[in-house]
Amino acid sequence: MLGVYFDNAATSYPKPERVIEAMRDYFLNVGANSGRSAYHHAQEASRIVFETRECVAQLIGAKDSSRVIFTSNATEGLNMAIMGILNEGDEVVTTSMEHNSVMRPLRYVEQTRSVRIKTVQCSQKGELDPDDVKRNIGLQTKLIVMTSASNVTGTLFPVSEVSRMAREFEIPMLIDAAQTSGCVPLDVTKDVFDVVAFSGHKGLLGPQGTGCLYIREGIDLRPIRYGGTGSHSEFEFQPDFLPDRYESGTLNVIGIAGLGAAVNYLLEKGVENVRAGEEQLMESLLDTISHMEDVTVYGTGDSRYRTGVLSITIDGMEPSEVGYELDAHYDIALRVGLHCSPAAHKTIGTFPEGTIRISLGPFNTEDDINLLCNALDEITVRK
Ligand SMILES: Cc1ncc(COP(=O)(O)O)c(C=O)c1O
């Protein structure tokens, strides 16, 4: 058991008890592949996959669950969308706050398909002005891709506004919702979002190795993987219906079983309640931490416009030193450094050392916040 865990932006911990039970139950009592056979264990596996898909669809407001594709993480979904949409000579508009899971596939298509990347510069607080996106849209723009919230500053991005703009220009928009799914309410139907990639193992509280890609009706991605789906096995061509078009190969059924239990937990609790709890904890954290001597806080100070992610630095100390002290002497786990987002650190002025990132989850308490703040107090006095 970990002491105090503040690395929920990387992966959430702990998981609801029912996630562990569902995974254990799958391994003990089911075990089979989904979508392949008719014996009752296999049907049970297919039922688990179907029900999890329905639960995720319900959580994100998708009317048709077949448009929810299971992936192994947010990165896979982002790759599927970027590789599946962009062609030779296209332009893509993105922001200066993106994670490498967006930037690296973009750099790959820049090198291999001569795709031109237009990067919208965000403010030093990590905020995006939607008008700057508009100014960067050109005739060759074939995709807009941006995060729903920064994994460095926690700043929420105006994805609804940009999505409306993208629709006016008839350009598909890809949202990297890794940092908001399960933590901030999302309704893909109300907002008419085109393509949304998210992790199953962060805010959704499922196990590692799970993620989803939502694809709106009318949007087609060229698959990046082809192979067996268990459907239309008489044909050597990839099925054109969803989800099979994008789900070749054996699914991570045990992970999906855990994800289903996690999403059920969230549906019962309500994402708006998770959000309210994290907002309250963030207010307490900001209240104390922003008054600490030698501590610099990044991003907006208003918890309504941020997620449960906070980056700080301490004058005269490397983030890695602070991370080590917290782990070794206080059993407090958090992440330090660049958090896979070098561009974001260049934007906020913390490159190359990075920051100390405190990322809250639904199981953190005021006591955890007090323990962290007291530890930081002691560390800064000792330095
Ligand atoms: C903003 C953002 N995008 C993408 C990812 C990648 O998520 P995953 O690890 O599920 O691939 C992360 C993970 O930290 C993230 O914070």
Residue 231 Cα to ligand 1 middle (Å): 31
Length of the chain: 383
Q: Whose CA is nearest to atom 13 of ligand 1?
A: 10
Residue 342, pLDDT score: 96
Q: Taking a C-beta distance cutoff of 8 angstroms, is the pair 224, 69 a contact?
A: no
8-state DSSP, 27: I
Q: What is the position in ligand 1's atom list of the atom closest to the CA of 78?
A: 4
Residue 33, pLDDT score: 93
Residue 179 Cα to ligand 1 middle (Å): 7
Residue 148 Cα to ligand 1 middle (Å): 11
Residue 359 Cα to ligand 1 middle (Å): 13
Q: Whose CA is nearest to atom 16 of ligand 1?
A: 151
Which phi and psi angles does 286 have, rounded to 5°? -65, -40
> At the fourth CATH level, which superfamily is domain 4-14+270-382?
Aspartate Aminotransferase, domain 1 (3.90.1150.10)
Q: Which of 11, 199, 335, 340 is the pocket-test mutation for ligand 1 (most atoms within 8 Å of CB)?
A: 199
Distance from chain centroid for Cα 138? 28
8-state DSSP, 128: -
Q: State the Cα–Cα distance between residues 121 and 133, nearest whole angstrom.
A: 9
Residue 8 Cα to ligand 1 middle (Å): 11
Each residue's pLDDT expressed in tens, for the chain with a length of 383 residues: 679 999 999 999 999 999 999 999 999 999 999 999 999 999 999 999 999 999 999 999 999 999 999 999 999 999 999 999 999 999 999 999 999 999 999 999 999 999 999 999 999 999 999 999 999 999 999 999 999 999 999 999 999 999 999 999 999 999 999 999 999 999 999 999 999 999 999 999 999 999 999 999 999 999 999 999 999 999 999 999 999 999 999 999 999 999 999 999 999 999 999 999 999 999 999 999 999 999 999 998 888 899 999 999 999 999 999 999 999 999 999 999 999 999 999 999 999 999 999 999 999 999 999 999 999 999 998 87
Beta strands in the chain, from DSSP E residues, in sequence order = 4-5, 68-71, 91-95, 116-120, 141-147, 173-176, 195-199, 211-215, 295-297, 309-314, 332-333, 335-337, 355-359
Beta bridge partners of 357: 311, 335
Q: What is the position in ligand 1's atom list of the atom closest to the CA of 98?
A: 1
Residue 73 Cα to ligand 1 middle (Å): 8
pTM of the model: 0.97
Closest to 93 in 3D by CA, of 129, 126, 130, 133: 133
Q: Which of 150, 151, 208, 213 is the pocket-test mutation for ligand 1 (most atoms within 8 Å of CB)?
A: 151
Residue 145 Cα to ligand 1 middle (Å): 14
Q: What is the position in ligand 1's atom list of the atom closest to the CA of 199?
A: 10
A 10 A CB-CB count for 235 gives 8
Q: State the Cα–Cα distance between residues 200 and 257, nearest whole angstrom.
A: 11
Residue 320, pLDDT score: 97
Within 8 A by CB and 6+ apart from 67, the residues are 57, 214, 215, 216, 217, 242, 243
Ordered by start, the domain boundaries in the chain are: 4-14+270-382, 17-269
Q: Does domain 17-269 have CATH number 3.40.640.10?
A: yes
Q: State the Cα–Cα distance between residues 117 and 107, nearest whole angstrom.
A: 8
Angle between helix 253-269 and 271-289 (nearest 10): 80
Residue 189, pLDDT score: 97
Residue 199 Cα to ligand 1 middle (Å): 7
Residues with CB under 6 A from ligand 1: 9-10, 73-75, 99, 101, 147, 151, 176, 178-179, 199, 211
Q: Which of 153, 195, 340 is the pocket-test mutation for ligand 1 (most atoms within 8 Å of CB)?
A: 340
Q: Which of 72, 99, 181 is the pocket-test mutation for ligand 1 (most atoms within 8 Å of CB)?
A: 99
